[in-house]
Structure formats: C-alpha cells, structure tokens
C-alpha cells in the first residue's frame, strides 16, 4: 500500500480517553488519513462529518451496547452507524464498537458466560485465514470484555475463543469488527490498569501485575501483525488506492 496524497479522514468515536487507536493510528496516518477523535458524552455526534467521512472507527468502553437508557449518546451512535451501513460506507468497530455494529445489524448483545480479560490467542475460521486477520493467527491478543453478541445475518465469523464465539466478523469489504483489542500497545497500558481498576479487582484470579507482565511479553509481537492486518483490510475496501 503506497502513501496517498488525497485528503481522507478517519473519524474516531472514543468513549474513554486511554482507549484510542493505539498501533492503528500510525497506519492511518501513513495511508494519508487525517485522524479526528469525537469523544462520547462531550462532542456532537450529530456532526455530519461522522456520516460523511471516508472511514469511521468506533472504539471500546466499559459499558453495554444495550445501555442507552443510562448513556443516551449511544442513540446517536446507532444513527451514525445505521446511516453509514445504509450507504455502504467503511466502518471499523473495536470492542464496544463491534457490539454496537452487531446490534445495529439486528443481533442481540448480552453478558457473556464470563469476563474475558487478558492475553490469549484466537482460533481463526476459514474465512479468517483467507483474510486480513490471518496475520493474527497463533498470536496472543488482548481481550477485555464481559459482553458478547450473536453473529449478524450475512456476516462472516472470522475468529473465536473458548469463551466468546464471535471475536471478529466482516460484512463485505467495508465493515470489519473486532471484539478483542488488536490495537493494544504496551506504551500507555498502565492507563488501562488504572482506568479499569474496579473491574480488574472484581474478577476472581485476575491480577494487575500479571496483566502488566503479559502486556510487556506479548504486545511487541502483536503490534506489527495488527498493523499488517489493518493495511490489508484497507487495501480491500472501497478506499483502496
């Protein structure tokens, strides 16, 4: 994929400040994108830019995709996703972003059998092995979620774990969703441990020190693989250049 000189924007819906694009951000910038963050509960999600931009990325959060009664801004996110899906525009969903996509596509989102927090590898489907996510085969990736979702109709399942059957899915070339966190990097991970301290302390057997050590052990190998995954996906979308 070569550098583009055309002006493109990836609009990023961010729910908590430390869960950003991580290792994906330099890939977008190298590909010629301007990165513009929209912070949930702060910025105006009715901004037409969210519907009109070349690519929308929706990031994670420790809230449920079904909690719009508590977090009304989710209603605005639903509208943005519905508009983009109807227009066939490019969308990347990570963690809550994947769950919101699943819900807008008509699937149920609900608490999983257990919280899945920590580093472990994926089992890729045949579709996953054929596509961009193949770069993540056999690599431990970061999981941090308690909810799961049913696979949307017409979506292709790309990856699973024993706890969560739907770890990634695609809808044609322009929609890609990750339940896990391929964008995770070691730099700044301490913010995750601080920001999610209550959740970590509430899971039996989960250790801040172990999460920190595993991140130091595995994140350096994940980063180039995840970046290759994103580059490959961008090359097959309608934004390919």
Using the predicted structure, report yes or no on whether residue 5 has a pLDDT greater than 80.
no
Task: pLDDT band for 203, please (50, 70, 90 cuts).
Answer: confident
In this model, does residue 241 exceed pLDDT 80?
Answer: no
Q: Which whole number is the average pLDDT over 207-223? A: 97
Q: What is the pLDDT of residues 18-74, one digit of tens each?
A: 999 999 999 999 999 999 999 999 998 877 778 889 999 999 999 999 999 999 999
Segment 179-200 shows an average pLDDT of 95
The pLDDT of residue 44: 87
Q: Are 45 and 5 in contact (CB under 8 A)?
A: no
125-174 residue pLDDT tens: 999 999 999 999 999 999 999 999 999 999 999 999 999 999 999 999 99
| 182 contacts: CB under 8 Å, gap ≥ 6 | 23, 24, 94, 136, 141, 222, 226, 229, 230
Is the predicted pLDDT of residue 1 greater than 80, yes or no? Answer: no
Domains parsed from the chain with CATH numbers? 8-236 (3.40.50.880)
Whether residue 207 has pLDDT greater than 90: yes
Distance spanning both ends of the chain, measured CA to CA: 7
The torsion angle over the Cα atoms of residues 179, 107, 133 and 142, rounded to 10 degrees, is 10
| CB count in 10 Å sphere of residue 42 | 9
Q: What is the pLDDT of residues 77-119, one digit of tens each?
A: 999 999 999 999 999 999 999 999 999 999 999 999 999 999 9
């Amino acid at each position: 994929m070569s550098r583009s000189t055309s002006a493109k924007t990836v609009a990023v819906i961010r729910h908590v400040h430390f869960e950003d694009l991580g290792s994906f951000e330099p890939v977008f910038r190298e590909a010629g994108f301007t990165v513009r963050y929209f912070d949930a509960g702060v910025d105006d999600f009715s901004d037409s830019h969210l519907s009109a931009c070349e690519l929308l990325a929706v990031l994670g959060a420790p809230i449920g995709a079904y909690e719009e009664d508590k977090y009304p801004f989710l209603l605005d996110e639903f509208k943005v996703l519905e508009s983009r899906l109807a227009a066939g525009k490019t969308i990347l969903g990570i963690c809550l972003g994947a769950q919101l996509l699943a819900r807008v596509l008509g699937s149920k989102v609900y608490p999983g059998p257990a919280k899945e927090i920590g580093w472990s590898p994926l089992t890729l489907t045949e579709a996953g092995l054929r596509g961009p996510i193949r770069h993540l085969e056999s690599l431990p990736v970061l999981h941090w979620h308690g909810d799961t979702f049913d696979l949307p109709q017409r979506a292709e399942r790309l990856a699973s774990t024993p706890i969560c059957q739907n770890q990634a899915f695609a809808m044609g070339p322009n929609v890609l969703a990750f339940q896990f966190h391929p964008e995770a990097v070691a730099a700044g991970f301490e913010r995750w441990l601080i920001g999610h301290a209550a959740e970590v302390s509430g899971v039996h057997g989960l250790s801040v020190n172990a999460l920190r050590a595993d991140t130091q052990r595995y994140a350096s190998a994940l980063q180039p693989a995840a970046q290759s995954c994103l580059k490959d996906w961008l090359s097959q979308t309608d934004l390919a250049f």
